[in-house]
């Protein structure tokens, strides 16, 4: 992704993990490449402090990728019961749940099923239907 707030500190901490092959940062990814990236990922962690909607979480869930995300903003609604929800400022909780995300095969299998089910609740078709319903109710008043 793009360089942002506190990126220098993050890069400094990630550098040793990249050198040893424990993580791989991909940088900017074209929109058309995202489904393949998500589907090939072992896990998706998105401990964001603020999100307007949380499209990356929805994309990961739709791809069947086990997901961890924040327990704040719009993310719990987007993720439902399909992701691990954590306080993004609680290092101990992040550590424990990242380990579970990566190693608990039973949870991962169930999360993959729940993720696809959760993602299916969001569609442009449903968005249009619900928006039209709101306007109809407003016009009827």
Q: How far is CA 15 from CA 12, 68, 80, 120, in A?
A: 6, 22, 33, 37
Q: Are 68 and 83 in contact, with CB atoms under 8 Å apart?
A: yes
Domain identity same for 25 and 70: no
Count: domains in the chain: 2
Domain identity same for 80 and 116: yes
Residue 14's nearest CA partner among 25, 1, 3, 26 is 25
Domain identity same for 23 and 86: no
Provide the whole-model pTM: 0.81
| Boundaries of domain holding 17 | 1-34
Domain identity same for 127 and 84: yes
Beta strands in the chain (DSSP E): 44-46, 67-70, 83-86
pLDDT digits (tens, 9 = 90+) for 59-113: 999 999 999 999 999 999 999 999 999 999 999 999 999 999 999 999 999 999 9
Write b or e for each residue in 99-116: b if 16 or more Cβ atoms lie within 10 A of its Cβ, otherwise e.
Answer: ebbeeeeeebeebbebbe
Domain identity same for 66 and 86: yes
Domain identity same for 46 and 97: yes
Domain identity same for 2 and 70: no
pLDDT exceeds cutoff 80 at 133: yes
| β-pair partners for 83 | 67
């Amino acid at each position: 992704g793009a360089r942002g707030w506190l990126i220098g500190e993050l890069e400094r901490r990630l550098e040793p993990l990249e050198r040893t092959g424990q993580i791989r940062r991909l940088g900017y990814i074209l929109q058309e490449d995202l489904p393949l990236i998500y589907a090939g990922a072992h896990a998706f962690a998105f401990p964001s402090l603020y999100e307007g909607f949380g499209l990356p979480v929805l994309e990961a869930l739709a791809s069947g990728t086990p997901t961890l995300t924040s327990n704040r903003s719009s993310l719990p609604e987007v993720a439902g019961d399909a992701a691990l929800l954590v306080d993004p400022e609680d290092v101990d909780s992040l550590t424990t749940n990242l380990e579970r995300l990566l190693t608990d095969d039973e949870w991962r299998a169930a999360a993959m099923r729940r993720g696809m089910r959760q993602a299916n609740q969001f569609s442009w078709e449903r968005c249009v239907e619900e928006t039209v319903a709101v306007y109809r109710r407003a016009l009827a008043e």
